[in-house]
Structure 1
Amino acid sequence: MLARVLTVWAATLGVAAALLSPTAAAHPRQDPRGCEPLASTTDCLLPFPNDWFTRADPTAPTGRRVSFTADMLPRNATGTSADPTAWNRSDGFSPGSTLIAQVPDLDLEATGAAPITDIARSLDPSAPIVLLDAETGERWPYWAELDANATARDRRALLIHPARNFREGHRYLVALRRLRDADGRVLPAPEAFRTAAGARLPRTHPLYPRQRELRPVLRRLERGGVDPDGLHLAWDFTVASAQGLTGDLFAIRDDALRRLGTRAPTFTVTDVVDRPVEQDPLIAREVTGRLTVPSYLDEPGGPPGSTLSRGPDGRPRHLPGNTQVALFRCEVPRSAFTTPSRPALYGHGLLGRRHEVAAANVKAMAAEHNFTFCATDWIGMAEEDVPSVIAALRDLSRFPTVPERSEQGMLNAVLLGRAMIHPRGLADTAAFRAPDGRPLLDTGHGLAYDGNSQGGILGGALVAASPDIRRGVLGVTGMNYGLLLNRSSDFAPFQQVLDVSYPDELDQQLVLQLFQMVWDRGETNGYAARLAEDRQVLMHIAYGDHQVANVAAEVEARTIGARLVTPALRPGRSPDRTPYWGLRTVPADRLPAGGSAMVVWDSGTPSPPLTNTPPSGPAYGHDPHADPRHSAAARQQKAVFLTTGKVIDVCGGLPCEASPVP
């Protein structure tokens, strides 16, 4: 699958390189009114995220609305400004926001900031970086790092990652204090911050408006135990509300289901292939077809590059007559011809296709545990969208085409799932009946979901959005592309496009976090709180995964309240001071147990880097990304969870291990 992606990428990169010369200088930074004046930086948006870039809006659930101008946003190498419209719909910033600041000469070890290996240190009373919930006064856990990808010391970002997502709709305060250089010397605070944090300024002073907003932040920090003396920098930001994050997808879902009523979705079976046992001992029948669903995209048929159609109020709307054709493929196991099979959706991998439902591991899962899996292309993040993804990396303005088309892709999957379980849906056709007329689908036990890689990352959002899925398996999963892209070996070819388009490394970090603000609407990062409320998921993690960073899964598990099945790893396997800090646990000898859970599968791969870089090269050995799904024990655990909601021990009370897949 990745080979196909790279082939398309290579052809497209040639066009990108011709348009954006890698030697082109970035457009000179504008300094419009509205840039953050507190920090000693030429970067308008730093520190980020930041309520300085919001305005009061009584119609927004948070009372705030993001208010970027084109001049504030990073320009690409051709000097093209970004259109801020999609971002300015937000009533706050991403709940998974990585905080970005620029602190020249900063040394985090000398400063004593919490590293990725010791998150607990972030909550020490004397921690040099403090994140504080302004409403509750709760200190928030994080780890801090300097961008290891930066080649220029003066353009190296300080990155502060929340160890679990910030609460939706809450405001957070950030304090940096007693920051030090490599020699242990305390770094002086930016002059503008010292001025704004000092004596009251006259109204005519240029920093007066900023001081007026900063003073309540300093007072609240002081009540939270942070002495204003010694501060290097402080600011605040508001997290987007649940409505702001999920409103678009839930709106198109609700409208589509209202239009559907009690009917089954409209579909056509286009082909039925019965396979003799000699050809395929696991799958007896392959069914393909076309599902017709209402399209909420702004172009007829919703091709790659389209975005949601919106009314004057900015909300998604259906253009009369606009439909989307979702191609689907189903694999019916031989066991279904004896006992009707359970219906399940399968989510494919990175920029892949529905045909991955015929992968060996999915066939094995179907045959061993009597599931019929159906899949449709996850448009927005499917193979046909590769050119749109590359266009988004070349121009920030194009990025909404990725998550907004992905939302339509989720709706397509929701309706395919409804067709699988509706009495007059797929089960009511000859394609899903045995020669003697017996049904091959059991529509009485609900719908399951199983996805791997991208299917795990986006799948959490689908599980949260579908009214028919109560339980799902998220294989080799994580969330928050803004966190994991730097850490993924899959991103390497796309990083080359980003290097050409946004050559400044500090700008790249801002671009990734700006991506995430709108990506939240189309991946699990924006729906994690919904999973925590009323859905159950089983997360399968490959230790040392080269493609989906383990830290992205750990943040997800903390956020949704998934319990870690222990023992997770052999003693000494992890470099962390407290492996899997902050996760609730359930010992293997207390299984079976209900609720969401995370199981770590270890193939012996070396531990991943402690920096925001991918585990590439011989030192990191075998990529275990595909190993869990090829384990019969893992498939058994998945099947029991999907059918009963219980997590069982399949590893004999020991850490789970998976054999490396060649």
Structure 2
Amino acid sequence: MSLRPLTRSAAGLALAAGLAFGLLAAPEAQAVTAAPSAVPDASPAEAPAHTGCDPIAGTSCLLPFPDDWYTRPDHSTPTHRRIDFSSADLPASALAGATDPTSWNRLDGFSPGSALVLTVTTLDPAASGLAPVTDIGRSLARNAPIVVLDENTGERWPYWAELDANDPQHRALLVHPARDFTPGHRYAVGVRNLRTSAGAAIPAPAPFARVLGHLPHNDPLRQRQKELEPVLRTLSHAGVHTSGLYLAWDFTVASTTSLTGDLTTIRDDAFARLHGEAPTFTVTAVTDQTPAQDPDIARVVDGTIQVPSYLSQPGGPTGSVFHRDHDGQPAQLPGNVQTARFRCEIPRAAWMTPSQSSLYGHGLLGSRNEVGAGNVKAMAEEHDFTFCATDWIGMAAEDQNTVVTALEDLSTFPATTERVQQGVLNALFLGRDLIHPAGFASSPAFQTADGRPLLDPHAGVVYDGNSQGGILGGVLVAESQDVKRGVLGVTAMNYSILLNRSVDFTALQPALDAGYPDKLQQQLVFQILQMLWDHAETNGYAAHLTDHHQVLMDIAFGDHQVANVAADVEARTIGARLHVPALSPGRSPDTTPYWGIRPVHGPAHGSAMVVWDSGTPPAPLTNTAPLGPPYGHDPHSDPRNSPAVRTQKAVFLTTGVTIDVCDGTPCTEPPAG
């Protein structure tokens, strides 16, 4: 049943009604590589900027995606490329018209988690031998019909391929990297030997077929042919020849500087302004509670912290974007300050022994008040943690209408991702106040009546977040100079994978349908949004997340809100090791469960992933949400409500070791009551 397009006010009502809970949230097989000597120089071609759509596919504009056709040479960037979208290239909103490409054209490449998107009429994935999500290892077979090749190293890249199950008309082919592409690298793609359900060969699009042949110098496709010659040579060296080739192209992945530069800029500037002092804070309320009122939490402290604001409006309200200087860098408007509200929950145990300080990250479009959830309070008292939270502005309760508008009009999306980055900075300032001697430790609100500290001055600060708090929490951990360890609960990364697969997105789908009713365009919208979302969620930081930090990923098997497939991509990308046995035999539909994620038996030092099984059926194998009775109970909240999980988290946060709390068996937990 198709949904009637909603007005913005109606979409906002649907969002408010539907988003009560948080969303979005084996040794690696040897890759087949081309010999380094066989890989040609991968330096970008010196071609002029293009106009119009890439002619090789002969279908919708922006297909195939991502594609260096939509970049231009720029030697001022680390990749020597720059995105070069025009408003005519990008999907136009049915409500707001053309998309402003300015924010995308600051980037020097595409998302490291981008799906490859193309359309192939009459394609049958099984007859063609495409690697499904249940058999990722097949993507590296020498005769695989799709080959993705890192042009910088010659490495074959793993992926899974699927048809868009939401769009029977176009049946877009989506090719997802099973491990994020490497920032700053270029990738060549060769698609070959595709078949219909009857086994008939599918011919190449007519323009690409002409590119593979002889073209006179004055042919309109001659320039495109010259640009693709290095790509075809690279693929040929890897065993992908022109015979049977359906399509070939290449694309550049954004550099680390491009992905993380805005947040790093505001972080460094803001902390430099402190000159080593604690951020300015004000305690606005101290609420002491009797054991009868709350058996776990003795004191709740509310307050505000003053943070330099790099947003475009005074005080940085929802809808703000970065204020930028003449070089395009985020910069503070004179005197602009963000007032970040915080709440801290101090357990009764802290009156016996000073507690471990921890930041807490709330769920989708929630608030700092989630730090008072029962599972958080239980962990606080059981393991003597003081949890403090501030709103993830940009993706907090006050931003609901801004998020809805972004799905209706791509041009407004920077108001979400840039404000989220300010929100991360706010949380980093909260973390600094938790550990600075002149910060919270100096306030009577964080002391006993006789002046003893309630926060352990020697323990530092850690991070714990669930759902959205896990998805955004990877950014905070990666960028923090104070937090060295974090727990990312019921987490994953890459919203472009997560949205179609989440039951929560059904509340937002009407807004997307209103702005971009064409289902093929919606898949492109997800990839285009991801290019900016990378700046504000773990996907853009994953390549270096564990360089100097450790994270524990707690996963709910069959999660209805945060798809497990995206958690697996994150684990492969950051190098997290998997607690094994992860699942009981027969629980996973995969040929090789958790392909490409290194296993660990017993205690694990460093980053790890633990899968918790509440008995929920596996999620759909398509890019659809697990809706309806066949998918049973949603286990999304089960891990955080488990005493065993809380014990494992506490040990990891204080020691960096993931202990085995499952006695050498798969980790199971009854559904939370």
Structure 2 CA distance for aligned equivalents of residues 34 and 173 of structure 1: 22
- Output the TM-score relative to the length of structure 1: 0.94
Give the secondary-structure state (helix, strand or coil) at the position aligned to 2:594.
Answer: coil
> Hey, what does 2:375 align to over in structure 1?
361
Letter in 2 for 1:660: P
Displacement of 1:78: 3.7
> Hey, what does 1:24 align to over in structure 2?
none
Give the secondary-structure state (helix, strand or coil) at the position aligned to 1:169.
Answer: coil
Inter-CA distance 9–579: structure 2 relative to 1 (3 Å threshold): farther
Choose from 452, 475, 497 the match for 2:466. 452
Inter-CA distance 13–231: structure 2 relative to 1 (3 Å threshold): farther
- Output the TM-score relative to the length of structure 2: 0.93
Displacement of 1:532: 2.8
Matched, 1:34 2:52: yes
- Contact 2:95 2:408 (C-alpha < 8 Å) held by counterparts: no
- Contact 1:351 1:383 (C-alpha < 8 Å) held by counterparts: yes
- Contact 1:348 1:453 (C-alpha < 8 Å) held by counterparts: yes
Structure 1 CA distance for aligned equivalents of residues 453 and 550 of structure 2: 28
Choose from 623, 631, 639 the match for 2:642. 631
Give the secondary-structure state (helix, strand or coil) at the position aligned to 1:553.
Answer: helix
Give the secondary-structure state (helix, strand or coil) at the position aligned to 1:564.
Answer: strand
Equivalent residue pairs, number: 634
Letter in 2 for 1:35: C
* 1:1-55, Cα deviation, whole Å (9 max, x unpaired): xxxxx9x97463689xxxxxxxxxxxxxxxx9321100020x1100000000000
Matched, 1:123 2:137: no
- Contact 1:197 1:214 (C-alpha < 8 Å) held by counterparts: no
Choose from 57, 80, 90 the match for 2:107. 90
Structure 2 CA distance for aligned equivalents of residues 198 and 59 of structure 1: 36
Give the secondary-structure state (helix, strand or coil) at the position aligned to 2:637.
Answer: coil
Inter-CA distance 9–276: structure 2 relative to 1 (3 Å threshold): farther
* 1:587-620, Cα deviation, whole Å (9 max, x unpaired): 13xx2x2110000000000001000001110000
Inter-CA distance 78–438: structure 2 relative to 1 (3 Å threshold): closer
- Contact 1:173 1:236 (C-alpha < 8 Å) held by counterparts: yes
> Hey, what does 1:572 align to over in structure 2?
586
> Hey, what does 1:179 align to over in structure 2?
194
Structure 1 CA distance for aligned equivalents of residues 14 and 662 of structure 2: 49
Letter in 2 for 1:173: A
- Contact 1:532 1:559 (C-alpha < 8 Å) held by counterparts: no
Structure 2 CA distance for aligned equivalents of residues 364 and 493 of structure 1: 31
> Hey, what does 2:183 align to over in structure 1?
168
Matched, 1:196 2:211: yes
Choose from 605, 611, 615 the match for 1:594. 605
Structure 1 CA distance for aligned equivalents of residues 108 and 140 of structure 2: 28
Moved more, 490-499 or 554-563: 490-499
Letter in 2 for 1:121: R
Matched, 1:499 2:516: no
Matched, 1:487 2:504: no
Structure 1 runs not aligned, ≥5 long: 1-5, 16-31
Displacement of 1:295: 0.2
Displacement of 1:293: 0.5
Letter in 2 for 1:659: P
Structure 2 CA distance for aligned equivalents of residues 79 and 233 of structure 1: 34
Matched, 1:295 2:346: no
Structure 1 CA distance for aligned equivalents of residues 130 and 203 of structure 2: 17
Structure 1 CA distance for aligned equivalents of residues 168 and 12 of structure 2: 26
Matched, 1:57 2:74: yes
* 1:52-72, Cα deviation, whole Å (9 max, x unpaired): 000000000000000000000
Structure 2 CA distance for aligned equivalents of residues 163 and 642 of structure 1: 28
Displacement of 1:523: 0.4
> Hey, what does 2:453 align to over in structure 1?
439
Letter in 1 for 2:515: S
Letter in 2 for 1:258: A
> Hey, what does 1:18 align to over in structure 2?
none
Displacement of 1:222: 0.4
Matched, 1:108 2:119: no
Choose from 232, 253, 278 the match for 2:292. 278
> Hey, what does 1:371 align to over in structure 2?
385
Inter-CA distance 341–241: structure 2 relative to 1 (3 Å threshold): same
> Hey, what does 1:652 align to over in structure 2?
663
Choose from 146, 149, 158 the match for 1:141. 158
Matched, 1:349 2:363: yes
- Contact 1:9 1:386 (C-alpha < 8 Å) held by counterparts: no
Structure 1 CA distance for aligned equivalents of residues 567 and 393 of structure 2: 23
Structure 2 runs not aligned, ≥5 long: 1-5, 16-49
Structure 2 CA distance for aligned equivalents of residues 81 and 104 of structure 1: 28
What does 1:308-323 align with in structure 2 at a 5 Å threshold? 308-323=322-337
Give the number of the structure with larger relative contact order, counting CA–CA contacts within 8 Å between residues 6 or more apart. Answer: 2
What does 1:213-252 align with in structure 2 at a 5 Å threshold? 213-252=227-266
What does 1:365-444 align with in structure 2 at a 5 Å threshold? 365-444=379-458
Aligned residues: percent identity? 63
Give the secondary-structure state (helix, strand or coil) at the position aligned to 2:88.
Answer: helix
Give the secondary-structure state (helix, strand or coil) at the position aligned to 2:534.
Answer: helix
Structure 1 CA distance for aligned equivalents of residues 640 and 102 of structure 2: 41
Displacement of 1:151: 3.5
Displacement of 1:227: 1.1
- Contact 2:405 2:511 (C-alpha < 8 Å) held by counterparts: no
Matched, 1:471 2:485: yes
- Contact 2:14 2:507 (C-alpha < 8 Å) held by counterparts: no
Structure 1 CA distance for aligned equivalents of residues 518 and 151 of structure 2: 33
Give the secondary-structure state (helix, strand or coil) at the position aligned to 1:132.
Answer: strand
- Contact 1:34 1:53 (C-alpha < 8 Å) held by counterparts: no
What does 1:554-565 align with in structure 2 at a 5 Å threshold? 554-565=568-579
Inter-CA distance 13–99: structure 2 relative to 1 (3 Å threshold): farther
Q: How big is the alpha-carbon RMSD for the aligned residues of Structure 1 and Structure 2? A: 1.4
Structure 1 CA distance for aligned equivalents of residues 462 and 10 of structure 2: 37
Moved more, 189-198 or 343-352: 189-198
Give the secondary-structure state (helix, strand or coil) at the position aligned to 2:431.
Answer: helix
Choose from 280, 283, 297 the match for 1:266. 280
Displacement of 1:443: 2.3
